[in-house]
């Protein structure tokens, strides 16, 4: 590992797909927030009906005497009626991140009922990760799409795991800096994608034990230092397990490519300040993710 490697800092420390200008948020009377693509046709479609959140968390409206869920209308608007699944097909329109109020096109796809039921059991509340579907879809040009073009757009979709790591701390020029690693893993196959998601959704035994205690006996002696699921102690365990899973995912190479890489390249001195686990994690990044840095990235240039 060479000294004086350039340090890159990402100024906007949020996932670009989760907080961008293409998304609009619509608050409900409860705690739910409906997410939609920021497109005039989608907004017009939504504003044409009166919506409520049903008992399963889906936004629904009464249309032509029938209860219709919002995601069905979105898919029909974008891809056509042939993509709206009925009960006898064995398939459903699935919300990728299991948030039934997230009705952006990037969160909707068609899935078998079996795979949908299996995915509903997964935990998508990752501290450092988000998931989405990438369609080569242009809302402005959508009216001119032919059925063949629609089919090609849908069949060529990609599944994305987007990762942000920001908890390896080191000092530079006497001030604490927060190294930052951002990258996206691209999958051309849902089965490979969900296989890696399942690795991430498995909690450590200690996290599961604390979760059970919180639900069963909030006064238990082992919970004295745990104020809730966002307690520092619990988050530390969760993040530790998450890093181990990320290393497995990177090394197993089920993904097709890595992109949108923003990172900190540490000097040897900074590297030596890390814990053994952090060193191992950083070396995994160095051997996988950093290989996808832009070709003009100067690894030896002083920051």
Q: What span, in angstroms and rounded, lies between the C-alpha atoms of 35 and 6? A: 38
Q: What percent of the chain shows pLDDT beyond 90?
A: 36
* Pairing label, strands 91-95, 181-187: unpaired
> 184: which residues sit within 8 A by CB, 6+ positions away?
160, 161, 162, 163, 258, 259, 260
pLDDT above 50 for 140? yes
- Pick the range with the lowest mean pLDDT from 27-31, 51-55, 90-94, 237-241: 237-241
- Judge whether 179 lies within some domain: yes
What pLDDT is recorded for position 134?
A: 94
pLDDT value at 168 more than 60: no
Does residue 74 register a pLDDT over 80?
Answer: yes
Q: Using the predicted structure, report yes or no on whether residue 297 has a pLDDT greater than 90.
A: no
Q: Which residue has the higher pLDDT, 201 or 118?
A: 118
Task: Give the model's pLDDT for residue 164.
Answer: 75
Asked whether residue 15 is domain-assigned, the answer is no
Q: Do the domain assignments include residue 11? A: no
User: Does 10 reside within a domain?
Assistant: no
Q: How many CB atoms lie within 10 A of CB 165?
A: 23
Whether residue 120 is predicted with pLDDT greater than 70 in this model: the reply is yes
Within a domain: 106: yes
Q: Of 292, 300, 273, whose CA–CA distance to 177 is shortest?
A: 273
Mean pLDDT of the chain: 78
pLDDT the model gives residue 279: 84
- What confidence score (pLDDT) does residue 10 get? 30
- pLDDT attached to residue 224: 66
pLDDT of res. 130? 83
Could you tell me if residue 4 is inside a domain?
no
Distance of CA 207 to the CA centre of its chain: 21
Would you say residue 63 lies in a domain?
yes
Q: Is residue 298 part of a domain?
A: no
Rounded Cα distance between 33 and 24, Å, is 10
- The range of the structural domain enclosing residue 185 comes to 23-292
247/223 Cα distance (integer angstroms):
30
pLDDT at res. 5: 29
pTM summary value? 0.78
Give the number of domains in the chain.
1
């Amino acid at each position: 590992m060479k000294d004086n490697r350039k340090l890159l800092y990402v100024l906007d420390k949020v996932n670009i797909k989760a907080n961008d200008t293409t998304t609009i948020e619509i608050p409900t009377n409860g705690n739910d927030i409906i997410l939609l693509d920021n497109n005039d046709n989608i907004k017009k479609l939504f504003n044409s009906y009166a919506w409520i959140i049903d008992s399963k968390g889906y936004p629904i409206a009464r249309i032509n005497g029938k209860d219709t869920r919002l995601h069905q209308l979105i898919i029909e608007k974008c891809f056509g009626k042939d993509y709206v699944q009925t009960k006898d097909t064995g398939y459903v329109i699935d919300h990728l991140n299991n948030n039934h109020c997230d009705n952006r096109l990037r969160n909707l796809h068609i899935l078998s009922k079996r795979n949908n039921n299996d995915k509903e059991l997964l935990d998508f509340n990752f501290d450092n990760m988000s998931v989405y579907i990438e369609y080569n879809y242009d809302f402005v040009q959508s009216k001119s799409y032919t059925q063949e073009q629609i089919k090609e757009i849908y069949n060529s979709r990609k599944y994305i795991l987007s990762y942000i790591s920001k908890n390896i701390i080191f000092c530079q020029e006497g001030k604490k800096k927060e190294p930052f690693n951002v990258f996206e893993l691209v999958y051309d196959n849902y089965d490979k994608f969900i296989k890696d998601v399942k690795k991430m959704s498995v909690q450590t035994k200690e996290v599961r034990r604390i979760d059970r205690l919180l639900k069963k006996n909030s006064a238990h002696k082992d919970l004295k230092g745990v104020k809730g699921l966002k307690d520092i102690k619990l988050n530390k365990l969760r993040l530790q397990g998450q890093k181990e899973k990320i290393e497995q995912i990177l090394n197993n190479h089920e993904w097709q490519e890595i992109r949108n890489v923003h990172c900190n390249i540490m000097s040897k001195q900074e590297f030596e300040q890390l814990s053994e686990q952090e060193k191992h994690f950083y070396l995994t990044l160095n051997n996988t993710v950093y290989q996808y840095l832009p070709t003009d990235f100067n690894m030896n240039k002083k920051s």
